[in-house]
Amino acid sequence: AQKVTQAQTEISVVEKEDVTLDCVYETRDTTYYLFWYKQPPSGELVFLIRRNSFDEQNEISGRYSWNFQKSTSSFNFTITASQVVDSAVYFCALSEVNAGNMLTFGGGTRLMVKP
């Protein structure tokens, strides 16, 4: 069965600091997708990234970067030079192609960026 673990329940940083959110997953499938979603105070879940299991290249999008390592079953998310607007709950999720693409979520990490 699939499982996603976000060990950090809450992180507090000061603006301009770099911060890494950890995500570890378990799956028996060889084909799967990993996701990150952001939940700002307004409540909706905002899609950030999807990565398939065959693509281990790291990705950078502005101040955001993702490090996918199959050897450690991790898909960590780094925010560089954090800003107050980055304050949100961040969810890591996994979907298996053989499971209808339903998402299994981690418990979320609440990030607080203080000015």
Partner 1 sequence: EAGVTQFPSHSVIEKGQTVTLRCDPISGHDNLYWYRRVMGKEIKFLLHFVKESKQDESGMPNNRFLAERTGGTYSTLKVQPAELEDSGVYFCASSQLVGALNTEAFFGQGTRLTVV
> Which chain residues interact with partner 1 by CB under 8 A?
33, 35, 37, 42-47, 50, 91, 99-108
CB of 64 to partner 1, least distance (A): 16
Nearer Cβ to partner 1 (39/65) = 39
User: Which among 114, 40, 35, 46 has a CA at the least distance from the CA of 82?
Assistant: 114
CB of 41 to partner 1, least distance (A): 11
CB of 45 to partner 1, least distance (A): 4
With b for 16 or more beta-carbon neighbours within 10 A and e for fewer, the 29-57 pattern comes to eeebbbbbbbeeeeeeeeebbebebeeee
